[in-house]
Structure 1
């Protein structure tokens, strides 16, 4: 006798014999796969639970009694486990009177699927349909408009039925929206517009989807045009617009579009980030060594002199120690939102790929000044990150001319042959000569012994500047002299 039959288990029970036995032996065999097993059951028991079985499968069961080496003739019976449910039930191609149901079939071979559906407008009416066990979709027809439907489906083998799976959907109304083809499509945005019906909806629900990521916007009924922003470049989007009336979204239309491909999928500097669409200053990811190199986060100045500047140094509050080692200056340190040095390795990578210009913005109180060099290059570590610059114009004075073609030095490495160790003497990492006319990585807010943040040709050697920012961009970008430099801080 069998009871408690599920997808993966059932109980077997039998009548105990009058004679004395040591134990009972229960065997089970899947008649399709041939997979079998056996269990020994204490003689005081007359039932056992068999588990870890296959759904929707028929098993031959034998029970025999055992006493020492003797085994009785077995009693034999067959039982079928409950079939597993179909999965991934979905409703697609919904109109005002039709909808297509699709599902993933049960893993077990089933005889049929039992489908039932009904609407909340007729709660006492349920339509039931029996479908072939090989069916994976079914077209519903003759549905009521603007109605919420509940659908259930379960599989059946013999008289055994699986647990149902269910979903809901709402049919459309006779009132139709007409969506226009998305226009003004860029790398990161698109404008969606549609024509409203004569009978107005109470609101619109605009849903747009990229792969599995779905976003939703609720709009008032007067809106028939909406700009989607923050989209991924060169990606396929699906847009759906629903109209709401009486608390239900009852009409919808679809549109698809593909955003434009970025001009620079792997931007090497902030000028290419700007071409890709970034308009405001902030952090961005670049690839200084090209698409095959490691990405680096940088701060982009998108406002000063037309923007497109990759900022590689900032002093603003003294929160970061710039009296650092050679390795620190090679790899970079600090915070992009505050004080930092981007790193000499990155500077070399940036200036070796494309001819670069350099801009230095200085501020002291209400006074501002800048120095612009049309040619700027940093050599490799093998050549001690030697600086090369020319083509000065600006308002700060040409203090960097003194440092042209000088190697970089830090407190623990000085490639210079001079007797004085300038990095140690003036507490920074820089392209010192003997020793400096500019020392923008000096000791912050130091006004003695010339150890501060200094630009001699502007404020002299005794003034420590509270704000400096160094940045680069490709030389081919046309230069203009702004009246007021825009900088962070």
Structure 2
């Protein structure tokens, strides 16, 4: 077992610097690694899957490491990635709470871990989009946090910066998280999660549905159940890829 201690009330381990895509042997580095910012600060700059610490022990995360770029530079911890339809995102509350999927591919990091990360440190959120023509855009939010489960894992975002994608998320700020078995949206008529085949911070109901169905480009947007971002091109068509990632302010 790796050495364990505490800091600011958090149990932590020595970080295991082991990207699964690397051919190099595992290395153990005596650093406090709560997220990808700490992995990056240790001198590791390769994107990949790493172990970081939480109150429940080590957690696997995908780190997107970027050396240059005004809004990209540094150490992003991926909280959601859709890219090929490999993983089913129409899941119950407990799955979204704990996280699911393949960290090297499509996955959801987990609401509880998002809350633990953002309750003590300031994070920004970046949403990367790509359509089936290969065009890309992004939206940046200077502040991102998630409340506790007792508060419904309520979302808080602010400070929108337009990278060509437009703003489809501010409408969802202040909303509790909803799944098909735990309806916490603002729609009185029915369940947004059931109607739009996902789990998200639905309002009444949504301008983006990143956990919706993956259509491999065969979606005209009429049903609004795909992985769309309405602020980009004013379209409800399903995207080829959407990634949500957070970076701690050092």
Asked if these proteins are the same fold (TM beyond 0.5), I'd say yes
Distance (Å, rounded) in 1 between the aligned partners of 2:241 and 2:187: 30
Task: Give the SS at the match of 1:458.
Answer: coil
Task: Give the SS at the match of 2:87.
Answer: coil
8 Å CA contact 2:185–2:192 kept in 1: the answer is: no
Aligned partner (choices 215, 221, 226) of residue 452 of structure 1: 226
Where structure 2 has 5 or more consecutive residues not aligned to the other structure, the ranges are 1-24
Distance (Å, rounded) in 2 between the aligned partners of 1:437 and 1:475: 27
Q: CA deviation at 1:307?
A: 2.3
Q: CA deviation at 1:475?
A: 2.9
**2:60 matches 1:301:** no
Aligned partner (choices 422, 427, 441) of residue 192 of structure 2: 422
CA distance 1:475–1:374, shift in 2 (3 Å): farther
Aligned residues: 216
Aligned partner (choices 308, 314, 317) of residue 84 of structure 2: 317
Task: Give the SS at the match of 1:287.
Answer: strand
CA distance 1:381–1:230, shift in 2 (3 Å): closer
8 Å CA contact 1:375–1:475 kept in 2: the answer is: no
Distance (Å, rounded) in 1 between the aligned partners of 2:241 and 2:49: 19
Q: CA deviation at 1:278?
A: 1.2
Distance (Å, rounded) in 2 between the aligned partners of 1:416 and 1:408: 7
Task: Give the SS at the match of 1:425.
Answer: helix
Q: TM-score, normalised by structure 2?
A: 0.82
8 Å CA contact 2:186–2:203 kept in 1: the answer is: no
Q: Which residue of 2 aligns with 1:443?
A: 213
**2:134 matches 1:366:** yes
**2:53 matches 1:283:** no
Q: Which residue of 2 aligns with 1:382?
A: 150
Deviation digits for residues 194-236 of structure 1, max 9, x if unmatched?
xxxxxxxxxxxxxxxxxxxxxxxxxxxxxxxxxxx97644xxx
Where structure 1 has 5 or more consecutive residues not aligned to the other structure, the ranges are 1-228, 234-261, 477-489
Distance (Å, rounded) in 1 between the aligned partners of 2:173 and 2:242: 19
Distance (Å, rounded) in 2 between the aligned partners of 1:350 and 1:433: 24
Q: Which residue of 1 aligns with 2:179?
A: 410
**2:128 matches 1:354:** no
Distance (Å, rounded) in 2 between the aligned partners of 1:417 and 1:467: 27
Aligned partner (choices 161, 170, 179) of residue 393 of structure 1: 161
Q: CA deviation at 1:386?
A: 0.5
Distance (Å, rounded) in 1 between the aligned partners of 2:28 and 2:229: 44
Q: CA deviation at 1:385?
A: 0.7
Deviation digits for residues 214-263 of structure 1, max 9, x if unmatched?
xxxxxxxxxxxxxxx97644xxxxxxxxxxxxxxxxxxxxxxxxxxxx4x
RMSD: 1.8
Deviation digits for residues 69-92 of structure 1, max 9, x if unmatched?
xxxxxxxxxxxxxxxxxxxxxxxx
Distance (Å, rounded) in 2 between the aligned partners of 1:344 and 1:231: 29
Task: Give the SS at the match of 1:402.
Answer: helix
Q: Which residue of 2 aligns with 1:211?
A: none
Could you say which structure has the larger radius of gyration? 1
Aligned partner (choices 257, 272, 275) of residue 38 of structure 2: 272
8 Å CA contact 2:83–2:106 kept in 1: the answer is: yes
CA distance 1:230–1:321, shift in 2 (3 Å): closer
8 Å CA contact 2:185–2:201 kept in 1: the answer is: no
**2:195 matches 1:432:** no
Distance (Å, rounded) in 1 between the aligned partners of 2:50 and 2:27: 16
Q: CA deviation at 1:404?
A: 0.8
Deviation digits for residues 250-299 of structure 1, max 9, x if unmatched?
xxxxxxxxxxxx4xx2300000011112111001111134xxx4110100
Task: Give the SS at the match of 1:321.
Answer: coil
Task: Give the SS at the match of 1:459.
Answer: coil
Structural mapping, 1:4-403, within 5 Å? 232-233=28-29, 262=30, 265-289=31-55, 293-303=56-66, 305-364=72-131, 365-394=133-162, 395-403=164-172
8 Å CA contact 2:186–2:205 kept in 1: the answer is: no
Q: CA deviation at 1:340?
A: 0.5
Q: TM-score, normalised by structure 1?
A: 0.43
Task: Give the SS at the match of 1:299.
Answer: strand
